[in-house]
Structure 1
Amino acid sequence: MKAALKVWSGRLLEALLTLWLLATLCFVLLRAAPGGPFDAEKAAPPEVQAALAQQYRLDRPLLAQYGAWLGDVARGDLGPSFQYPDYTVNQLVAQALPVSALNGGLALLLALLLGIPLGVLAALRAGRTLDRALMFVAGLGLAVPKFVVAPLLVLLFAVTLHWLPAGGWGEWRNLVLPVVALALPNVAYCARLTRASLLETLSAEYLRAARARGLSETRLLFAHALRPALLPVAAWLSPALINVVTGSAVVEQVFGIPGMGRYFVQGALNRDYTLVLGVVLVVGAAIVAINVLVDALRGWMDPRLRAATA
C-alpha cells in the first residue's frame, strides 16, 4: 500500500511539474512573438489603449503578469478571453472540450476497431497478396497528411456525392467526415503495429510448444497470442492521442467545428494569450491523465509491469 501510494504521489508531482513547465514555456513564447492582442485597435485613442492594457493587466511587467496569471490558474480561473470579451476562457473551454473529446474519442475508437482486425488479418496472411495490399493501403494512410485528407473527404462525400455535410455541428452527420479524417492515419499505424507485434508473438517458443501439443490456431490466437501482441498497441495509445489532438486543429478548421483545436488556432492568430494558454493547459492535463490510464491498462494486460512498479 505504501509503495503504491509513493508511486502515485510521484506521478502526481511529475504531472504537475510537466504542466507547469508546459505553461511557462507557452507563456514565454507567446509574449516573445511579435504583435499584441490589440494591434487591430491602432486607430483607438491612447487612453482607450491604456484602458485595455490595464483591464487585461498588460501594463504590468512581464514577471508580474506571469505571477498573476499563475495565481489565477491555481484557483481554477483561466482568465478572460481577449478575442471573445463576453466570455471567460473557462466558458470557452467548457463549450469546446466536449466537442473535441467526442471527435477524438470516436476517431481513436474507430482506429482500434478497424486497425486491430486489419493487422490481425494481415499477420495471419503474412507474405500473401492480401497482406501486401493491406500494408500498401496502410502506408498510403500514413503518408497522406490530415490537411490533405480532410479537403479530399469534403470534395468527395460533400461536394461530389452530396452524402454528408461539408461542415458545421449539431447532428450525427456532421461527425462522420471529421472523425474519419482524424482516424485514417491512426487506423493505418494501428494495423501495421498490430501485424508486426502479432507476427513476433506467433513465433515465440511457448506458442510453438502449444501448437505442437495440438492446440488449434484459433485458440492459439485468441487465448494465448492476441493479448501479449496488443501490448505495443496499448503503449501506442498515448502518442495516438497526441496525434489526434494535433490533428484536430486542422480538422476543426476545415469542417468549422467549435472545438479546442479551432480555438487554439484562432487564439494564436489573434494573440489571445489567455485562450491559448488555457487550451494548452487543459489539453496537457488531458494527455497526462490519458498517459496514467494507459499505464494502468498496460499493467492490467502485462503483470510484469505491475510487479515492476510495485
Structure 2
Amino acid sequence: MKRFAGRLLEALLTLWLLATLCFVLLRAAPGGPFDTEKAAPPEVQAALEARYRLDRPLVAQYGAWLGDVARGDLGPSFQYPDYTVNQLVAQALPVSLLNGGLALLLALLLGVPLGVWAALRAGAWVDRALMLFAGLGLAVPKFVVAPLLVLLFAVTLQWLPAGGWGEWDNIVLPVIALALPNLAYCARLTRASMLETLGAEYLVAARARGLSEARLLFAHALRPGLLPVIAWLSPALINIVTGSAVVEQVFGIPGMGRYFVQGALNRDYTLVLGVVLVVGALIVAINALVDALRAWMDPRLRDA
C-alpha cells in the first residue's frame, strides 16, 4: 500500500510539473490566441480576453486553470468556441488509441517473430536481410514514410484512400506508418536479446543434455529473452505518441496529435494543455502497467 501511494504521488507530481512547464512555455511563446482579431473593436477584444481570463495576471490565470483541472474541467477551447477541451479530447482520444494500439500490436506481432527468427539464423543471409530492412525502417522518419505510403498505395496503385476517417481502409496506411519504425526496433532488440539468452550457460548445458531446440526456445529462452522488449514498451508508446502528430496531420485524422499541432499553431492554450495532460496521464498509466508486467515476468524485480 505504501509503495502504491508513493507511485501515485510521483505520478501526480510528474503531471503537475509537466503541466506547469507547458503552461509557462505557451505563455512565453510570441503571439496570442486572438492575434487575428486585431481589427475588432477594443471592446470586443476586451470581452474575448475577459471570457478566457487573459485579462488577469499570469499567476491568477495559472491558479484558475489549475483549479479547473483539479475538478476535471480542462476549460473552453479558444479556436473551437462551440466545444470544450473535454469534448474535443473525448472525440480524439479513441481515434488515437485505436491507431496507436494497432500500430504497437502490429510492431510486436511481426517484430518479435522476425527478431527470434534472425537470432536462430544468426550470420545467415536471412539474418542479414532482416537486419538490413530493420536498419532502413529505423533510418527513414515518419514524415517521409507517411507521404511515401500515400504516393505508392493511394496515388499510384489506388488500393487505399489517401486520408480521412470512418472506414476500415482509412486505418491501414496510418497504422503502417506508425508501426514501421517500432517494428524495426522491436526486431533488432529481440534479435540481440535472444542471441544473448541463447548463449547463456544454462542453455548450453541444457542443449548438451539433448533438449530439442524448440523446447529450449519456448520453455527456457523466450521468457527471459523478451524482458528487454517488455521494458521497451514504454519508450515505444512515447514514440507512437510523438509520431501520431505527424501521421494524423498527413492523413487528416481527427486524433490527439492533430489537435495538439493545430492548438500549438493557433495558440489555443487550453487545448494544448489538455492534450498534454491527457497524454501524460496515459503514459504514466502505461509505465505502471509495464512495470507490473516486468515484475510478473521477472521475480527479481518485485522487491526492487
By the TM > 0.5 criterion, same fold? Answer: yes
Structure 1: gaps spanning 5 or more residues: none
Q: Within the alignment, does 1:71 sit opposite 2:67 as a pair?
A: yes
Q: Which residue of 2 aligns with 1:17?
A: 13
- The equivalent position to 2:145 in structure 1, one of 144, 149, 153, is 149
- The equivalent position to 1:35 in structure 2, one of 31, 41, 56, is 31
Q: Within the alignment, does 1:208 sit opposite 2:204 as a pair?
A: yes
Structure-to-structure mapping, 1:1-310, within 5 angstroms: 5-308=1-304
In structure 2, the residue corresponding to 1:23 is in which secondary structure? helix
Matched residues in 2 for 1:123 and 1:203: separation? Answer: 11
The residue identity in structure 2 corresponding to 1:250 is: V
Matched residues in 1 for 2:92 and 2:79: separation? Answer: 15
Q: Deviations over 1:100-119 (max 9, x none)?
A: 00000000000000000000
Q: Deviations over 1:215-251 (max 9, x none)?
A: 0000000000000000000000000000000000000
CA RMSD in angstroms, aligned pairs only = 0.4
Aligned length: 304
Q: Deviations over 1:152-178 (max 9, x none)?
A: 000000000000000000011000000
Matched residues in 1 for 2:127 and 2:207: separation? Answer: 23
Q: Deviations over 1:3-40 (max 9, x none)?
A: xx111111000000000000000000000000000001
Structure 2: gaps spanning 5 or more residues: none
The residue identity in structure 1 corresponding to 2:137 is: G
In structure 2, the residue corresponding to 1:115 is in which secondary structure? helix
In structure 2, the residue corresponding to 1:307 is in which secondary structure? coil
Structure 1 segments of 4+ aligned residues over 4 angstroms from their partners: none
Q: Deviations over 1:33-90 (max 9, x none)?
A: 0000000101100000000000000000000000000000000000000000000000
Matched residues in 2 for 1:278 and 1:137: separation? Answer: 38
Matched residues in 2 for 1:185 and 1:270: separation? Answer: 30
Matched residues in 1 for 2:302 and 2:214: separation? Answer: 28
The residue identity in structure 2 corresponding to 1:109 is: L
Q: Deviations over 1:250-286 (max 9, x none)?
A: 0000000000000000000000000000000000000
Matched residues in 1 for 2:240 and 2:143: separation? Answer: 13
In structure 1, the residue corresponding to 2:303 is in which secondary structure? helix
What's the CA shift for 1:145? 0.1
What's the CA shift for 1:307? 3.0
Matched residues in 1 for 2:2 and 2:214: separation? Answer: 42
Matched residues in 2 for 1:195 and 1:307: separation? Answer: 29
The residue identity in structure 2 corresponding to 1:153 is: L
Deviates more, 1:298-307 or 1:174-183: 298-307
Matched residues in 1 for 2:132 and 2:4: separation? Answer: 43
In structure 2, the residue corresponding to 1:24 is in which secondary structure? helix
What's the CA shift for 1:209? 1.1
In structure 1, the residue corresponding to 2:302 is in which secondary structure? helix
What's the CA shift for 1:213? 1.1
Matched residues in 2 for 1:222 and 1:196: separation? Answer: 17
